[in-house]
Amino acid sequence: SYELTQPLSVSVALGQTARITCGGDNVGSKYVHWYQLKPGQAPVLVIYRNINRPSGIPERFSGSNSGNTATLTISRAQVGDEADYFCQVRDSSTIFGGGTKLTVL
Amino acid sequence: DVQLVESGGGLVQPGGSLRLSCTGSGFTFRDYSMNWVRQASGKGLEWVASIKQDGNEKYYVDSVKGRFTVSRDNVKNTLYLQMNSLRAEDTAVYYCARVQYYYDRSGYQEGDWFDPWGQGTQVNVSS
């Protein structure tokens, strides 16, 4: 079955750029979606179809996908961006990455 | 305001049953495929089940096939997950999530991403 690999954690200094990767075999041929999860809250879609931001998501959030790696980039990171981030693709079924905990220092 | 609200979680013994509900508001519920996704404590997200708009197509992750049943009532705008023969490994927060649509040259197409999600309901399977 298809697998997506994410780093367990990423740290970023306040105001700097965080990059969270999502690795998978030829993932660049698939559409990747990203979700933000904060404790006790509903998950939030932050990027869909590799590069698109839903309404209400700040422009600081962007995505890319090529080859074997998709990347979620968070520019000018804020304390409020601290959360778990999950990538997702559709293969024979819906597949999620293992999640990355973002810490803003 | 588009919203999904889950209910029905709780503590159940191994082998027991539980039915989760998810009520949608702020959108035409019958027009959307719906999903259940779960997250065990300290673990990642796992897709559990999906159901098409009219309820005639249903899909499940292998680990719940034969034990869980997804259904919907488009009059009550409610999605259900009947969980039988529960196991300790079913312990998780269960989220419902709506599939999104996008528009291309062929018209509106069903996407494969989820938006919005509910806030989740906790299911604990323990003796």
Residue of B nearest to A100 (CA): B44
- Judge: A48–B97 Cβ closer than 8 Å, yes or no: no
For B25, residues 6+ apart whose C-beta sits below 8 A from its C-beta are: B1, B2, B3, B5, B77
Residue ranges of chain A with per-residue pLDDT less than 70: none
- B98 contacts B76 by C-beta, under 8 angstroms: no
A7 min Cα distance to partner chain B (Å):
12
| Per-residue pLDDT reduced to its tens digit, B78-110 | 999 999 999 999 999 999 999 998 888 888 888
Nearest to A41 among B46, B115, B119 (CB): B119
Chain B residues near any Cβ of chain A (below 8 Å): 4, 35, 37, 39, 44-47, 50, 59, 61, 95, 97, 100, 102, 111-120
* Residues β-bridged to residue A89: A95
Q: How many CB pairs under 8 A join A and B?
A: 65
Q: What confidence score (pLDDT) does residue B97 get?
A: 98
Q: What confidence score (pLDDT) does residue B109 get?
A: 86
Chain A residues near any Cβ of chain B (below 8 Å): 31, 33, 35, 37, 40-45, 48-49, 54, 86, 88-90, 93-99
The tens place of each residue's pLDDT in chain B, 127 residues long, gives 999 999 999 999 999 999 999 999 999 999 999 999 999 999 999 999 999 999 999 999 999 999 999 999 999 999 999 999 999 999 999 999 999 988 888 888 888 999 999 999 999 999 9
Closest CA to A48 of A89, A96, A6: A89
B123 min Cα distance to partner chain A (Å):
14
Q: How far apart are CA B114 and CA A42, in angstroms?
A: 12
Nearest to B116 among A31, A37, A42 (CB): A42
Strands (DSSP E) along chain A, which ranges? 9-12, 18-23, 33-37, 44-47, 61-66, 69-74, 83-90, 94-96, 100-104
Long-range contacts of A22-26 (CB under 8 A, 24+ apart): A22/A69, A22/A70, A22/A71, A22/A72, A22/A87, A22/A97, A23/A68, A23/A69, A23/A70, A24/A68, A24/A70, A24/A89, A25/A68, A26/A67, A26/A68
